[in-house]
């Protein structure tokens, strides 16, 4: 004979059903999952044995970056080429700078004169890029290209890319975007990030060895960051986050999932380029 009465058995069953439903409603702890996943990837990059760290960084982005016209600081080679180092180092610095000056929710283009300046940065890099390309192809070019100009003009492009991507992300995902707040409200704000870029440029071409790792990591995570943010945007839209985000923490779920296509794309492109090089199909 059971030692529990029918009423007690019923209450126990109801309690178990309620506990099961509560467990089903409990949200997935995306924040810790993201931090754990990112931390594991970072530790694998830093401490996996067999090759120097700078070569591992070079290999990870080998399929994304041309890696010609390389630059060296303190005897170590940057993982990106001179122009891409300028673009993605500046992209990362600009993104951090915008949050530092309180433009995290900004959703408006800068005033027309600043916007035209940002477009001019793109045009200047395009001119320098074609000039360098013509020389590489053995065609007449306008002036002798060099790595300093490649990095300098790339930095202007990086400011523009960061500005554009910041506006797209905010206006697409944020519920609390400020449509009246420009990304850069004044010349002084734009000059601030230009000054920071120029300090980084001086450290690179002044061969200040102590700055190699901070600048190399900023450039490395800058190029992966652009790919990752595009994957994050698409993942967030697929998961229904459009116009719903008020805090960065809300994006922990899509941020975790977006790591997967980022790794797959970067890994596949790197493998493909190494394979093509091994076959002698590209240099």
Q: What is the mean pLDDT of residues 81-102?
A: 96
User: According to the model, what pLDDT value does residue 69 have?
Assistant: 86
Statement: residue 4 has pLDDT above 70: no
* Per-residue model confidence as pLDDT tens digits over 104-128: 999 999 999 999 999 999 999 999 9
Q: What is the mean pLDDT of residues 239-267?
A: 94
Q: What is the mean pLDDT of residues 264-274?
A: 95
* Alpha-carbon distances, residue 91 vs 34, 107, 171, 213, 271 (angstroms): 23, 18, 19, 17, 25
Beta strand residue intervals within the chain, DSSP E: 70-73, 76-81, 106-108, 178-182
Q: What region does 146 belong to: left with phi over 0, alpha with psi -120 to 50, or beta?
A: beta
Question: 24-28, 54-58, 218-222: which has the minimum mean pLDDT?
Answer: 24-28
Question: 38-52, 63-77, 166-180: which has the minimum mean pLDDT?
Answer: 63-77
Statement: residue 1 has pLDDT above 50: no
Residue indicated by tokens 């493909």: 272
Strands 178-182 and 106-108, bridge-based pairing? parallel
Q: In terms of residues, how long is the chain?
A: 283
Q: What is the mean pLDDT of residues 118-143?
A: 90
Q: How confident is the model at residue 98 (pLDDT cuts 50, 70, 90)?
A: very high
Q: What is the mean pLDDT of residues 88-108?
A: 95
pTM for this prediction: 0.87
Smallest CA-to-CA distance from 217 within 9, 11, 57, 34 is with 57
């Amino acid at each position: 004979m059971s030692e529990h009465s029918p009423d007690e058995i019923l209450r126990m069953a109801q309690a178990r059903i309620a506990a099961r439903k509560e467990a089903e409603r409990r949200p997935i702890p995306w924040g810790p999952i993201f931090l754990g996943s990112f931390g594991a990837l970072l530790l694998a990059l830093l401490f996996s044995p067999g090759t120097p760290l700078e070569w591992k960084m070079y290999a990870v982005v080998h399929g994304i970056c041309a890696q010609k016209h390389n630059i060296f600081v303190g005897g170590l080679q940057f993982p990106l080429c001179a122009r891409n180092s300028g673009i993605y180092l500046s992209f990362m610095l600009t993104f951090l700078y915008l949050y530092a000056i309180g433009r995290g929710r900004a959703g408006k283009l800068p005033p027309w004169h600043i916007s035209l300046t940002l477009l001019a940065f793109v045009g200047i890099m395009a001119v320098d890029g074609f000039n360098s390309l013509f020389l590489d192809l053995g065609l007449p070019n306008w002036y002798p290209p060099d790595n300093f100009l490649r990095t300098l003009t790339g930095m202007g492009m990086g400011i523009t890319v960061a500005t554009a991507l910041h506006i797209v992300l905010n206006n697409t995902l944020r519920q609390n975007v400020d449509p009246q707040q420009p990304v850069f409200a004044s010349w002084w704000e734009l000059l601030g990030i230009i000054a920071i870029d120029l300090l980084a440029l001086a450290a690179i071409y002044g061969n200040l060895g102590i700055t190699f790792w901070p600048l190399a990591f900023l450039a490395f995570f800058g190029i992966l960051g652009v790919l990752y943010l595009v994957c994050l945007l698409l993942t967030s839209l697929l998961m229904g986050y459009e116009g719903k985000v008020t805090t960065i923490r809300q994006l922990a779920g899509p941020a975790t999932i977006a790591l997967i296509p980022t790794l797959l794309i970067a890994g596949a492109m790197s493998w493909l380029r190494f394979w093509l090089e091994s076959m002698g199909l590209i240099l």
